[in-house]
Structures are given as C-alpha cells and as structure tokens.
Structure 1
Amino acid sequence: MKRHFLMVDAAVLPEVFLKVLKAKELLASGEARNISAATRAVDLSRSAFYKYKDCIFDARSTQQIITVLATLLDENGALQALLGGISAAGGSVVTINQATPENGAAKVEVTVRTDTLRVSIEEMLAQLAQQRAVVEVHQGV
C-alpha cells in the first residue's frame, strides 16, 4: 500500500494528533526519558501514541523517521545484533517494540531516525537481512 501524505492545518486536527506530536518532540529533545513519561506529560494514552506515532509528522521537521519491521529467531543476542546493525549504518533507534516469541521467532518494530545514516535505507535493510538471526526485514509503511 502506497503512502499518501497531506498537509493539514493543525488547528483542524483532533487533539490526540497534536498530543502525539508533542510527545514525539519530548522524546526527541530528551525532555522525556521514555514513551511512558512523554505520554504522561501530554495526557495521552500509550495506546493512542503507538497507534499514531508512525503516521503523524511535523512538516517543519527535517529528520526522517522510518519503521523497520523484522522477524527474528528466538535466540540470545538477536535483537542486540539487529540494533547493532542499525547503529553501524548510522541510524538512531527511537523506539523498540517486540512481540512475545511464537514458534521460535519474534516480530520486532524499531523506529529509526535516518538523518545520520551513512548508507541508504535500502542498503541498511539489505545488511540487516544478512544477519543470521534475521528471518525477514523490511521498511514499514
């Protein structure tokens, strides 16, 4: 599914969208140490934050954020290796969500700032796909 972006005046948006943006700003600036603290500071549920965090961006922001979706083998160090690969490519991890492993594998969602990448997003994903514990990896939409 191809993404379709719109520019909308913030004044007409539901308050939840503005709170998600503010929470993301608190996380990016370091004013909030984690998602729980950021959502508490803006009076937003964590579930609403997770629902919208990858879909709402400030048009003034020059940093690009992507979501890396991966399936990892349920082995010690698999997540650490994935995160190390992202870091080695110059990406900066913003959030990590990992599901409980089922049938020997776990789904992982990593939000990554790409403004400091030393390789293209495609190259980073190709490098991550070469890791032994990575079953599948792709960019989220």
Structure 2
Amino acid sequence: MTNTFDDWTRLCRLLDDDPELTPATLDSVEAGESPWDALIEGLDDSGALAYLDKSDTGAELADALPALPRIIRTGIELDEVGDINELDRAITSANELLAAHGLTLLYLADPDDEDAHPLVAVPTADLDEINALIEKLYG
C-alpha cells in the first residue's frame, strides 16, 4: 500500500500544488473509494481543471483556460483558440501556444462521464512521469 500512497502523492503533486489535493486523494485510497474520482474532484475544486464537454468548441476552451492557475501565471493570450470550432484542434492550438511557457494540456479521462473532457495544464517536462504514474495507477 505504501507504494500506492507514494505514487498517488507524487501524481497529485505533479498535477497541482493545492495542499488539499493529496490528502483528499489518499483518503479515498484508504476508504476503498475511487482515488481517480477524488483526484478529478480535487483538481476541479482547486480551479486547476478545465472541465469541458467533448462537443465544446475552441470558444469554450479559450474561456476556461485563462482561469487555470498555471496558465494565469503565464499571462498568455488564447484568443486565437476561440476561433476554432473543433475541440481537439483547439487543444492542439492551445498546446502550441502553451509550449513556449513549458506547459501542455493533459486530458484526464472521467470514467463516470464519457462526454466529459477534463483538462489540466501541466509542465511539459513532467508529462512522461505523469503519464507513467497514470498508467501504473489507473491503466
């Protein structure tokens, strides 16, 4: 169980610096509940998650991203993303802009909502480690 706690702790810290995220996620592990659900809820509660629907467009993405703490700190303008009608293309465009700031958007699948498209901005340098932890814990 210790390795599981360590892995969830590391994943939480890589995804967001909210001090409440890790304890809430670990509490769900101890309670035998879904830590993935707790993680998504915690990211949403902290404001670090852009919770979109896969039918949304670039306009909704451009509205949601500037509120994410890591994106706020960059001061980046995402207006051009709002002109794109397809969400996947808008995410690609946003990632091109975010790359200059060392960030990328990471899709976190929500098993409770197939139409959901939750995104979190993470440092590009941490992406491989994040994906490896997600695969280990959830995959």
- Is TM more than 0.5 here? no
**TM-score when normalising by structure 1:** 0.32
Higher normalized strand content (fraction of residues): 1
**TM-score when normalising by structure 2:** 0.33
Higher normalized helix content (fraction of residues): 2
